[in-house]
Amino acid sequence: MTNTFLEKLKTDRLSPKNKGTWTLTGTERYLFIWKAIVYSFILSAFFWAPLKTYSQGLSKKGIKKEVKNGVKSLKKEGWELVGTPLTMEYVYGKYLTELESDPNLEPENGTIYCSNPDQCEMFVTAAARNKIAADAAGRIEGRIYNSSTLNADVKADQENVNKYLSAFRQKVSKYVTPEMLKKSFTVRRKPRVETEHNFEYQVYYVKNIEMLSKSVNRALEETKQEVEKIGEITGALDKIIDEGS
């Protein structure tokens, strides 16, 4: 009763003609091989399953902790979830999980004071798009004024530099689509500063940086083509921007 499967099989099929060896019929041989394969899978699963579960558990535990701390902070600051019957814990967890799922995704927030709930989210989205455009224009401006190839006169031509950057910024904002800047959830609270508005709205977004990069490059090319030629500065800016892109 205490013999293992292999020991029992060996005892039962010990050949009297060949001491120390054992033989199987064709059917029994296939049965043995099949059982051996099954047992190997069972042992493999038994060995690897705890490691896999532990690895997944660490990830889930980390997200769960972030959700707990994030929700606690939002509620402590007076924020309440709006626009959904779901819990704040659920939407915050889904938000973090989505960000972890793709290296091309990054968080983006938009905040605004407003009084009409029907328009607040629209205003926040516009503000978030403008912020993305302003950041892109800021990077271009940084290239301009940190360039060693532009002379002082060109850098001092602030009017034309601003004209160039303004046109670029407007195009970037125009090309930021809901697919590139996807809303995750919205919270609001009573304003904590003096304001004529009734609410402070904050929207959490997931932005796709790969898609946004393509839109920024598109805006850059169109700006270079459409802005009226402004002498030396146009060529100089184009050169610097091309070198940095």
What is the model's pLDDT at position 146?
A: 75
The model's pLDDT over 85-104, given as tens digits with 9 standing for 90+, comes to: 999 999 999 999 999 999 99
- For residues 110-128, average pLDDT: 92
The model's pLDDT over 180-189, given as tens digits with 9 standing for 90+, comes to: 999 999 999 9
Distance CA 133, CA 171 (A): 8
Distances (CA, A) of 177 to 117, 129, 207, 221, 238: 22, 9, 10, 18, 26
Nearest to 13 by CA among 29, 1, 2: 29
Distance CA 187, CA 83 (A): 9
Residue 201 φ then ψ, to 5°:
-105, 145
Edge to edge, what strands does the sheet with 199-208 contain?
Answer: 80-82, 181-189, 199-208, 105-114
Which range is least confidently modeled, 33-37, 142-146, 201-205? Answer: 33-37
Q: Is the pTM of this model over 0.85?
A: no
Burial class (CB in 10 A: 0-12, 13-18, 19+), 228: exposed
Nearest to 165 by CA among 115, 97, 240: 240
Which structure tokens are listed for 73?
């902070």
Residue 111 φ then ψ, to 5°:
-130, 140
Buried b (16+ CB within 10 A) or exposed e, 107-140: ebebebebeeeeebbebbbeebbbbbbeebbeeb
